[in-house]
Amino acid sequence: MADQWIEETLYDNWGQRFRVKQELARTRSPFQDIVVFESESHGRVLLLDGVVQITERDEFVYQEMLTHVPLFTHAAPRNVLIIGAGDGGVLRRVLEHPGVEKAVMVEIDGAVIELSKKHLPGIAGDAWNNPRAEVIVGDGIDYVARAADASFDAIIVDSTDPIGVGEVLFTDSFYEHCARVLTAEG
């Protein structure tokens, strides 16, 4: 049997590839191609449209920096909004902060959440069932546009690269709404 490899396709002149032990899921959602596989070197890996989003082996590096740095710089973050982060890792890290009363996660692709729950359960841990968590399958752009002024102490955007479904998260309009929904200390 020949080795099976999956190669990331984000850049034309640089990339990474993984030897596949077992493919766990491959599907096309209304938004993107999703692949979850077991690699020899990094445990389970999630790819969206051919781009690595998370690996079990090093997810903590990304998740902890994305979450703890902004939350530790805020005096008392109580309400946190997460845009994207369908694997649940950012939600888990936000909920590690005991002062957080509510963490709202808005992920556009419910298939990413379901596949992560099934194939990457260690990344989110028990966050999916935490009573302080509210998980919304919906459009983060629309959610932020409709959110009340000064309703969040922190906003964490964990999106894909600025191509495909994540492209709209890199606009002035989106960040103007983010600024509006942040508290004065946010």
HEC states along 42-97?
A: CCEEEEECCEEEEECCCHHHHHHHHHHHHHHHCCCCCEEEEEECCCCHHHHHHHCC
Task: Say how far apart CA 3 and CA 92 lie, in whole Å.
Answer: 35
pTM of the model: 0.91
Residue 51: strand pairing partners: 48
Q: Write out pLDDT tens, residues 138-175.
A: 999 999 999 999 999 999 999 765 565 556 666 788 89
CATH of the domain at 26: 2.30.140.10
Domain count, the chain: 2
| pLDDT score at 11 | 81
One domain for residues 41 and 100: no
Domain assignment present for residue 186? The answer is no
C-alpha distances in Å from residue 128, one per residue of 23, 94, 155: 24, 12, 19
- Residue 27 placed within a domain: yes
> Residue 91's domain is classified under what CATH number?
3.40.50.150
Q: Do 19 and 64 have their domain in common?
A: no
Q: Is residue 133 part of a domain?
A: yes
Q: What is the pLDDT of residue 121?
A: 97
Q: What are the tokens at 100? A: 């957080």
Residue 132, SS3 per DSSP: coil
| 42 and 64 inside one domain | no
Cite the active site residues: 158
Range of the domain at 64: 60-181
- Kindly give, in sequence order, each residue whose CB lies less than 8 Å from that of residue 2, ignoring residues fewer than 6 positions away: none
Residues 151, 114: one domain?
yes
Domain-embedded: residue 40: yes
115 and 153 part of one domain? yes
What's the pLDDT tens digit per position in 83-103? 999 999 999 999 999 999 999
- Parallel, antiparallel or unpaired: strands 44-48 and 51-55: antiparallel
**Is residue 131 domain-shared with residue 71, that is, in the same domain?**
yes
Say yes or no: 40 and 110 in one domain. Answer: no
